[in-house]
Amino acid sequence: MVLAHLRALVVACSAVLVLASCSSGDDTTLAGKADSSGRLTIAVAYDQPGLGVRRLDGSYRGFDVDVARYVARELGVEESGITFTEALPSDRETLLTSGAADLVVSSYSITDKRKEVIDFVGPYFVAGQDLLVRLTDERITGPDSLNSGNLKLCSVDNTTSAQYVKDRFAQSVQLVEYPNFSDCVTALLAEQVDALSTDDVILAGYAAQNPELLRVVNQPFSTEEYGIGMRKGDADSRAKVAAAVRKMIDSGEWRKSLETNVGESGYAIPDPPELAP
């Protein structure tokens, strides 16, 4: 009788171990956490029309949001298991290194400096830097024209756009920084600044919201490669995220999302980029 009980206990314990090994991974990794908990926290922009917006009803829309959802689903996390949090440009690396977010999908340009702190998957989209100005302002025709007249150029904390303009094209331009792109748009409409510089796809979204007041100069002058940010050193999870992005591109969902989210702005949707190995 005792031997029978012991055998039953061994069988039961073995079954528990098998189930545990099958249903969960190393939850210190992104893929393991997704597998074991069915949940991920993903940081997205709340104020970038066409890319990432948190609507008044609490829903999230945009191309970056669609990329985030697609990648999560490929990792085994349904939409109900995603917690979206705001990715302020000044906080994106900290969100990842502190563990406050598992992924950042937020028009996050891949740079060597950022790669010292985090890893990227991408590029999943390539944009060009441009300028947003008031519709009737004819003074600004490109970045060089910002070099005269005490003009003020707005951008966002911890982004590279405005400093790039100052360093390469317009040394005398006055830089003004705010926490969010929407703050720059408000300042532009209020004539507190003369231009906003960031990626053309972001500017197209704002111009589409205010076509009677704002326009994109349409003279792109740099290349910005967007990557999905994740914590450093998680090679297996990085490979799985990359596979999910490739699948989104190959399936046609990548282009479909762009057409839905930015097509009406008149923005010319580019071909998908090649992901870095």
Specify the pLDDT at position 257.
95
Supply the pLDDT for residue 242: 98
The pLDDT value given to residue 25:
58
- pLDDT at 23 > cutoff 70: no
* Percent of the residues in the chain that have a pLDDT greater than 90, as a whole number: 71
Residue 202 predicted with pLDDT over 80: yes
Q: At what angle do helices 235-251 and 63-74 cross, to 10 degrees?
A: 120
Q: Catalogue the E-assigned strands of the chain.
A: 40-44, 47-48, 52-54, 60-61, 82-86, 103-104, 119-127, 129-134, 152-156, 174-178, 195-199, 214-216, 224-230
Which of 12-16, 48-52, 261-265 has the largest mean confidence? 48-52
pLDDT of residue 89: 87
CB distance 53 to 60 below 8 Å: yes
Taken in order of first residue, the domains within the chain and their CATH numbers are 27-127+224-265 (3.40.190.10), 129-216 (3.40.190.10)
Kindly report, residue by residue over 110-160, the tens digit of the pLDDT. 999 999 999 999 999 999 999 999 999 999 999 999 998 899 999 888 777
Average pLDDT, the chain: 89
Pairing of strands 214-216, 129-134: antiparallel
Q: How confident is the model at residue 24 (pLDDT cuts 50, 70, 90)?
A: very low
Q: What confidence tier does 17 reach under pLDDT thresholds 50, 70, 90?
A: very low
Residue type (1 letter), 17? L
Sequence letter at residue 30:
L
Higher-confidence position of 222 and 105: 105
Rounded CA-CA distance 158/111 in Å is 12
- Alpha helices by DSSP H, listed for 48-91, are 63-74
What does the pLDDT average to over 98-119? 96
Per-residue pLDDT at 180: 87
Closest CA to 226 of 188, 276, 265, 176: 276
Residue 222 pLDDT exceeds 60: yes
Mean pLDDT of the 6-24 span: 43
In this prediction, residue 267 has a pLDDT band, given cuts at 50, 70 and 90, of confident
Higher pLDDT, 209 or 249: 249
Q: What is the pLDDT of residues 176-193, one digit of tens each?
A: 999 888 999 999 999 999
Mean pLDDT of 229-251: 98
Does position 105 have pLDDT exceeding 70, yes or no? yes
> What is the DSSP annotation of 119-147?
EEEEEEEEE-EEEEEETT--S-SSGGGGG
pLDDT at 73: 98
The pair phi, psi for residue 132, each rounded to 5°, is -110, 130
